[in-house]
Structure 1
Amino acid sequence: MSALDARPRKRDNHARPRKRDNRAAVAFLLPWFGGLALITAGPVAASFVLGFTDYNLIQPPRFNGLTNVHRMLSDERLHHAFGVTVVYVVVSVPLQLAAALGLAMLLDRGLRGMAFYRSVFYLPSLLGGSVAIAVLWRQIFGAQGLLNQVLGVAGVPDRSWIADPDTALSTLIVLNVWTFGAPMVIFLAGLRQIPVMYYEAAAVDGASRWAQFRAITMPLLSPIIFFNLVLQVIHAFQAFTQAFVVSGGSGGPSDSTLFYTLYLYQRGFNNFDMGYASALAWLLLLIIATFTAVNFWAARHWVFYDD
């Protein structure tokens, strides 16, 4: 044995504290991992399995293969709910983002008390998805609601906006546009990152406000617009509370407010067809993933980054 091997080896004094730190980290993370397994991962896996079964919440699930998939192809009410949801997403999301960007540009001009206005405008995003606001919305657009009282001054006859199939969905679109606070705050942060010298140089060259907005604001803000677009599209596809409360859970009148999520709820908890509802939930995941992928593909043509 050589002299080097005969020498006593030094202890790694840092190994023991490192192991204690690792054990402490694992101990603190265990509740989170437990919640992930029991509350998220477990139900997700169970819903995937139930999507291939006939399950009514009372009797044990029975495997039925691709029967639920075949039912989706011939389910006309599902197709109608998907169409209503797509109209809601395609109309409400651009209007919401336009309102959010417009107000963000107003607040970016350095108004006094901007912190107060920012908080006030953000408030609808906190309350818009609540049951209380949905109930309030039903009162505003009802036959004796606030809107009819205002229009009555101009001689417009009363009508129940939420009871008319032609206008019921429009009231929910207005509600979603009203919850512009979250994207507005993000837009405001993005506007603050655009250097003022770009606008000053454009003004010296004689560019109008519209030309500055089109050539400077929109290209430099396009990553923020894309970020808000993806988030709000996902959020709009998952809309449920507003349609459930305003229509009383029926999706009426004449299924004009029958969102995809509301139809899924009806199949699972009204008809106790939980196997089919689970399959519908996974189909919704694929639909949202498809729309998100299309947004990422289209972003290559209109989103500009610094590099």
Structure 2
Amino acid sequence: MNLSSAAPQPAGHYRSTKRSRREARAAYLFLAPWFVGLLVITIGPIIASLYLSFTDYNLLEEATWVGLDNYVKMFTEDPRYLNSLKVTTIYVVVSVPLQLAFALALALVLDRGLRGLTIYRSIFYLPSLLGGSVAIAILWRKVFGADGLVNAFLSVFGIEGTGWVSDPDTALGTLIILHVWTFGAPMIIFLAGLRQIPSSYYEAASVDGAGKFRQFRSITLPLLTPIIFFNLVLEIIKSFQSFTQSFIVSNGTGGPADATMFNTLYLYLSGFKHFDMGYAAAMAWVLLLIIAGLTGVNFLASKYWVFYGDEK
């Protein structure tokens, strides 16, 4: 018999254990609302939408199981859905690199030790806070309208403009410009990354005769690749989820000629205008798989171009 294991525990140990259990119960009590919200508001609707994606459901009648019919319809019978994927892909492929390049360029300018940096940083961050709002989308429609500020500016030089948001060839471009304009969030992240690069690296490079461009290419970019990767993943996810800009600028139609029909807008119209909620749920899951797949590809590809300072 092990006498040490049978020996009574000190009173202090008992009080400590009792206090730990009491603290654990208090912690679970405070976390309970979050767990309830997670189950009721997040996990529950996710599971329900997965089920509904295999049904014919119009919000008013009982859902009818149709299997994979909604998914087959998307890719074989619905050219408007395929067009929404095309429009969204063009929007993401063009706007995300332009936005990140512009944000990085501005971060490099602000990193030069300007006076009043906090004020500039706040001003440049404002578009990110306002860019997804209904008010800015309405303003954008006015700016690029036939009688908007852009055409008024062009008329000064004798150039006759067009209705940029009503022309199928230029409507998507106005939304891309709006997305690039919301560069504040990635700019702040880039600026934080630039501040973490030791100045001794640039001093050593200057002694070796490296110019500014060579320093940027050999020091700044490699050490900033984790930040670029982080911004890239976030902006791709956010861009695929864009909705407000297209909805407001096109008056909820995706026009002209479906030129601004984002995938999320078509999903909304299918579910809440045509009451084809099962089909809309299927589109939501395809969008989720697209975003998850691209995120996975980005993570797999990152090992070939992302440099971490602790790597050997």
Deviation at 1:4, TM superposition (A): 7.2
**Residues 70-110 of structure 1: CA deviation (Å, up to 9, x unaligned):** 11121211111000000000000000000100010000000
d(CA) in 2 for partners of 1:268, 1:104: 41
Per mean C-alpha deviation after superposition, the further-off stretch among 235-244 and 2-11 is: 2-11
- What percentage of residue pairs aligned between the two structures are identical? 61
Match of 1:84 in 2: 87
Letter in 1 for 2:44: G
Secondary structure, aligned partner of 1:14: helix
Task: Using the TM superposition, give the Cα deviation of residue 302 of structure 1 relative to its aligned residue in structure 2, in angstroms.
Answer: 1.2
- Write the distance in 1 (CA, Å) between the matches of 2:181 and 2:42: 31
Instruction: Specify which of 71, 76, 91 is matched with residue 69 of structure 1.
Output: 71
Secondary structure, aligned partner of 1:300? helix
Q: Please report how far the alpha carbon of residue 43 of structure 1 lies from its aligned counterpart in structure 2 after TM superposition.
A: 0.7
Amino acid at match of 1:40: T
In structure 2, the residue matched to 1:295 is 298
- Map residues 209-224 of structure 1 onto 2, 5 A cutoff: 209-224=212-227
Report the Cα offset of residue 2 of structure 1: 9.7
Q: CA deviation at 1:203?
A: 1.3
Instruction: Give CA deviations for 1:19-41 in whole Å, capped at 9, x if unaligned.
Output: 11011101100111111111111
Task: Summarize deviations over 1:138-160 as a string: whole Å, max 9, x none.
Answer: 01000111111111101111311
How far residue 297 of structure 1 moved from its aligned partner, in angstroms, is 2.0
Q: What is the one-letter code of the residue matched to 2:235?
A: Q
**Which residue matches 2:250?**
247
1:171 aligns with 2:174: yes
Q: Deviations over 1:234-291 (max 9, x none)?
A: 0000000000000011000000000000010111011100001001000000000111
Unaligned stretches of 5+ residues in structure 1 = none
**Paired residue for 2:235, among 232, 237, 241?**
232
Q: Which amino acid aligns with 1:94?
A: P
Task: State the superposition RMSD in angstroms.
Answer: 1.5
Paired with 1:273 and 1:108, the residues of 2 have a C-alpha distance of 51
Runs of 4+ in 1 over 6 A off after TM superposition: 1-7
1:9-24 equivalences in 2 (<5 Å): 9-11=9-11, 12-24=14-26
Q: Tell me, in whole angstroms, the C-alpha distance in 2 between the residues paired with 1:77 and 1:256.
A: 11
For 1:4 and 1:188, the matched residues in 2 are separated by: 60
State the aligned residue count.
307
Q: 2:36 aligns with which of 34, 37, 42?
A: 34
Whichever residue aligns with residue 108 of structure 2, its letter is: M
Q: Could you tell me how far apart the structure 1 residues matched to 2:250 and 2:187 are?
A: 29
Matching of residue 57 in structure 1 with residue 54 in structure 2: no
Instruction: Give 1:265's match in structure 2, choosing from 257, 265, 268.
Output: 268
Return closer, same or farther for 1:137/1:10 CA change in 2, 3 Å cut-off: same
Q: Unpaired segments of 5 or more residues in structure 2?
A: none
TM-score, structure 2 normalization: 0.95
Which residue is 2:135 aligned to?
132
Q: Distance in 1 between matches of 2:83 and 2:42?
A: 30
Distance 1:134 1:164 in 2: 17
Q: Hey, what's the Cα distance between the residues in 2 that align with 1:304 and 1:158?
A: 46
Aligned mates of 2:31, 2:131 — CA distance in 1? 33
Letter paired with 1:17: R
